[in-house]
Amino acid sequence: MKRVVVTGIGAVTAIGNNIREYFEGLQKGVSGANIITHFDASKFKTQFACEVKNLIVEDFIDRREARRIDPFTQYALIATDEAMQSSGLDLEKIDLDRAGIIFGSGIGGLYSLESNIEEFARGNGIPRYNPFMIPKMIPDIAAGHISIKFGFRGINYATVSACASSSHALGNAFDYIRLDKADIIISGGAEAAVTHAGIGGFNAMKALSTRNDDFATASRPFDLDRDGFVLGEGAGAIILEELEHAKRRGANILAEIVGSGATADAYHITAPHPEGMGARNVMRMALNDAKMNPDEIDYVNVHGTSTPLGDVAEVKAIQQVFGDHAYNMNISSTKSMTGHLLGAAGAIEAIAGILAINHDFIPPTINHFTDDPEIDPKLNLTFNDAQERKVNAILSNTFGFGGHNSSVIFKRFE
């Protein structure tokens, strides 16, 4: 099969609106959490989130066009534009019929759906819906807009598997290219669920932290006093390209994607399998796909959402898969900084891994104060500060409601 490499990356996150800012935020261990500004959240149990900050959309997208698309699509387009620029692709010199998009979102245009329903309710039942409501809302529309902007006429669809969405997108894109069905695929994910319904819905599930008096440290994966995740938003875009195609045009190769896996817990709609069965199986599947031994992985970017059940189950799975090597690896949750980007989490966390390979550092798990006796203290969970380390290979986990599990492996290109 064909080899597949990364030739471009782009990011919009709560700790940086481009790759340079995102990288600096990861190095410094910056918390992206703050009081919600998108709406008045003072009556909600959770009043903070990891919102995208200081992003002037009109600097990237025409004002009229921006009004016709949901924020999640805006983030997707901005991140993709950066990834395309960094890739150096010349659209006049590639076969656009063999260039495609596989882009994930767990929820899609929640803001557009919510605001139109609220407008309907205020109008005494008179159905005055915006003609753009449906195309703003549907989760596949980001992929559609990216395709139209760059003229990519190959494979084009969205993956929707809750928090595993963009990792599944990366795995699918990897498969299409290595099976010689495409030369280039823009992959990744976007999410913009910091809305009344997003916060209210996750509050009703008791999934979010309610640490309103200390929001900057509310996302604390693996800490004894963790009380739920912090909702994040943004997008990550990754240009995946067939190796020989990239070499012919002299592309700057950032990493190689070498393995992916996808499994189901078949256990519960929201809770993980208590022994991490699905997580264990998906990591083993990704390693087998990559034809790698566990001791070849230097860093695992965990799902690590800061929930009482999920963090423990994932650590158990890692120890089952990696055995004694689990104590030699670095493990961290960058959600402690970015918040949980839901369907965009896999993309932005894979980018954190690609940056780790290119800069030989491990981003930290910030906000650690108290050890959890259920988590082995000998594991290097990279608490509070980034660490320098030679990084040749990383594994990134994402797990979604419904029991969806996905893992992807990237390594230094040779």
Span 41-52, pLDDT tens digits:
999 999 999 999
CA distance 393 to 299: 7
| Catalytic residue (one of 145, 273, 303, 404) | 303
Answer whether residue 399 shows pLDDT above 90. Answer: yes
Tens-place pLDDT, residues 353-382: 999 999 999 999 999 999 999 999 999 999
340 is catalytic: yes
Under a CB-based contact definition with an 8 Å cutoff, are residues 347 and 189 in contact? yes
Question: What is the four-CA torsion angle of 55, 199, 140, 255, rounded to 10 degrees?
Answer: 60
CA distance 341 to 307: 15
Tell me the pTM: 0.97
Is the pLDDT confidence value at 250 over 80? Answer: yes
Residues 332-345 have pLDDT tens digits of 999 999 999 999 99
Average pLDDT over residues 35-64: 97
Single out the catalytic residue among 163, 168, 273, 404.
163
Choice among 168, 340, 368, 404 that is catalytic: 340
- Per the DSSP assignment, residues forming a β-bridge with 330 are 299
Measured CA to CA, the distance from residue 382 to residue 368 in angstroms comes to: 10
Q: What residues does 371 pair with on adjacent strands? A: 223
Residue tagged 């600097």 (tokens): 59
| Helices and strands, counts by H and E, the chain | 13, 14
Residues 82-88 have a mean pLDDT of: 98
- Tell me whether residue 303 is one of the annotated catalytic residues: yes
Predicted pLDDT of residue 239: 98
**To which residue do tokens 């915006």 refer?**
130
Q: What is the mean pLDDT of the chain?
A: 97
DSSP at 272? P
Strands, E assignment, 210-342: 234-242, 255-264, 299-301, 330-332
**What tens digit of pLDDT does each residue of 124-170 get?**
778 889 999 999 999 999 999 999 999 999 999 999 999 999 999 99
Rounded to an integer, the average pLDDT of 254-271 is 95
